[in-house]
């Protein structure tokens, strides 16, 4: 597997680099934007397609623009893509879907094994509870995070909405003022920002006189990075198409 790491100078890029060393997986190409201070030598800051070779696997932790560029470059060069940026608009998602018609593309808002387990637990819990139980999602992230709510909170919300037969119109992003009693069928979303939280997601299920709190806390970006490298191994042998992290954790090479 020949790996290219896009966003190599970022928080996740550094974590993927460390995980790759720990797992003995060499990174062949590092790609980032020109930085200030200067990007370190050996990091490609030009057009991504010029650094990506056919048959490579690109791991991307950049942003919406980077995800789009990675999708186009991978499709043009015949490289598989593991995409982790969050905060994507519909057009960015469409660019990734278009690439998946030509190469293997695996997209996940959260690459950690624990979050995958939380989603299973959550679906089971919601299936056992009446629809009268209220649902609130609380996420906490470091002060530098750009997008709110987090991609993972939206993934959890999508699972919960699907289980209840609701759409994203049911999401309630924070509350303020004299807004009256909580309507039924609302899913509350709360984005806490501060300090250095890596990724903390809590789902509250509140009934009459009782509640359930299901929470996943990432303490170290290594949790995401190891999942991303497992995903890279998965797509390195996968046919062109669209994959999710569930395909990795279900598959024979599961970490
Ligand atoms: P960061 O700001 O620390 O790093 C981003 C890096 O990408 C920077 O080095 C930046 O220069 C580079 N970059 C941005 N646009 C680029 C482009 N067009 N081409 C090349 N390089 C580009 O951010 P981070 O904390 O490392 O997070 C990166 C992304 O990954 C965010 O969207 C974040 O929400 C997401 N993320 C996803 C997961 C997951 O499991 N899917 C986990 C953590 C973070």
* DSSP, residue by residue, 27-71: EEEEE----SSPPPTTEE-S-HHHH--TT-EEEE-S-HHHHHHHH
Q: How far is the CA of 60 from the centre of ligand 1 (A)?
A: 8
Assigned CATH for 113-218 = 3.30.360.10
- For domain 3-111+221-249, the question of CATH label 3.30.70.2190 is answered with no
Percent of the chain at pLDDT above 70? Answer: 98
**Residue range 12-28: mean pLDDT, rounded:** 97
Q: How far is the CA of 75 from the centre of ligand 1 (A)?
A: 20
Residue 231 has pLDDT above 90, yes or no: yes
**Residue range 16-23: mean pLDDT, rounded:** 97
pTM of the prediction? Answer: 0.94
**Residue 150 CA: which ligand 1 atom is closest?**
34
Q: 145 catalytic, yes or no?
A: yes
**127-182 pLDDT per residue, tens:** 999 999 999 999 999 999 999 999 999 999 999 999 999 999 999 999 999 999 99
Q: How far is the CA of 182 from the centre of ligand 1 (A)?
A: 36
How far, CA to CA in Å, does 243 sit from each of 21, 29, 101, 119, 209?
Answer: 25, 23, 12, 17, 41
Q: How far is the CA of 53 from the centre of ligand 1 (A)?
A: 22
Q: Is 49 exposed, middle or buried (0-12, 13-18, 19+ CB in 10 A)?
A: middle
DSSP letter assigned to residue 170 = G
Q: Closest by alpha carbon to 51, among 24, 26, 70?
A: 70
Q: How far is the CA of 32 from the centre of ligand 1 (A)?
A: 10
Which of 30, 35, 84, 108 to probe ligand 1 with, by most ligand atoms within 8 A of CB?
Answer: 84
**171-213 pLDDT per residue, tens:** 999 999 999 999 999 999 999 999 999 999 999 999 999 999 9
Q: Where are the domains of the chain?
A: 3-111+221-249, 113-218
Residue 254: pLDDT band with limits 50, 70, 90: low
- The residue whose C-alpha atom lies closest to atom 1 belonging to ligand 1 is 10
**Among all chains, which residue has been given the structure tokens 């997008």?**
147
Which of 61, 64, 116, 139 to probe ligand 1 with, by most ligand atoms within 8 A of CB?
Answer: 61
Q: Closest by alpha carbon to 138, among 76, 205, 78, 73?
A: 205
User: Rounded to 5 degrees, what are φ and ψ at 227?
Assistant: -65, -40
Asked if residue 31 lies in contact with residue 4, where contact means CB atoms within 8 angstroms, the answer is: yes
**Residue 9 CA: which ligand 1 atom is closest?**
9
Q: What is the 3-state secondary structure (H, E, C) of 100-122?
A: CCCCEEEECCCCCHHHHHHHHHH
Residue 114 has pLDDT above 80, yes or no: yes
Residue 250 has pLDDT above 90, yes or no: no
**Do 3-111+221-249 and 113-218 have matching folds?**
no
What is the overall mean pLDDT for the chain?
96
Which of 6, 7, 31, 49 to probe ligand 1 with, by most ligand atoms within 8 A of CB?
Answer: 7
Residue 255 has pLDDT above 60, yes or no: no
Asked if residue 190 lies in contact with residue 136, where contact means CB atoms within 8 angstroms, the answer is: yes
Q: 190 catalytic, yes or no?
A: no
Query: What's the chain's length in residues?
Result: 255
**Residue 15 CA: which ligand 1 atom is closest?**
26
Write out residues with Cβ below 6 Å of ligand 1: 6-7, 9-13, 31-33, 61-63, 65-66, 69, 84-87, 108-111, 224
Asked if residue 9 lies in contact with residue 43, where contact means CB atoms within 8 angstroms, the answer is: yes
Angle, in degrees to the nearest 10, between helices 64-77 and 90-99: 20
Helix (H, G, I), strand (E, B) or coil at 142: coil
What is the structure's pLDDT at 37?
85
Q: How far is the CA of 120 from the centre of ligand 1 (A)?
A: 27
Percent of the chain at pLDDT above 90? Answer: 95
What is the structure's pLDDT at 253?
47
Where are the alpha helices (H) located in the chain, listed in sequence order? 11-23, 48-51, 64-77, 90-99, 113-128, 151-164, 222-236, 245-250
């Amino acid at each position: 597997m020949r790996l290219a790491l896009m966003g190599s100078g970022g928080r996740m890029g550094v974590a993927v680099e460390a995980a790759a060393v720990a797992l003995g997986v060499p990174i062949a190409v590092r790609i980032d934007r020109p930085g200030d201070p200067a990007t370190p030598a050996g990091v490609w800051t030009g057009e991504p397609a010029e650094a990506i070779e056919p048959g490579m696997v690109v791991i991307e932790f950049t942003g919406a623009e980077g995800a789009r560029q990675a999708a186009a470059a991978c499709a043009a060069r015949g490289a598989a893509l593991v995409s982790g940026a969050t905060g994507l608009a519909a057009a960015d998602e469409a660019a990734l879907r278009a690439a998946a018609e030509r190469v293997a593309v695996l997209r996940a808002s959260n690459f950690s094994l624990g979050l995958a387990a939380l989603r299973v637990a959550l679906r089971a819990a919601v299936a056992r509870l009446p629809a009268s139980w209220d649902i609130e999602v609380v996420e906490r992230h470091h002060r530098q995070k750009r997008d709110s709510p987090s991609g993972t909170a939206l993934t959890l919300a999508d699972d919960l909405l699907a289980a209840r037969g609701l759409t994203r119109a049911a999401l309630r992003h924070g509350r303020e003022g004299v807004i009256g009693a909580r309507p039924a069928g609302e899913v509350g979303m709360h984005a806490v920002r501060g300090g250095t939280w890596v990724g903390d997601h809590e789902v509250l299920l509140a009934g009459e006189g009782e509640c359930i709190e299901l929470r996943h806390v990432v303490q170290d970006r290594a949790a995401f990075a190891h999942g991303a490298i497992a995903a890279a191994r998965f797509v390195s042998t996968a046919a062109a198409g669209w994959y999710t992290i569930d395909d990795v954790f279900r598959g024979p090479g599961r970490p």
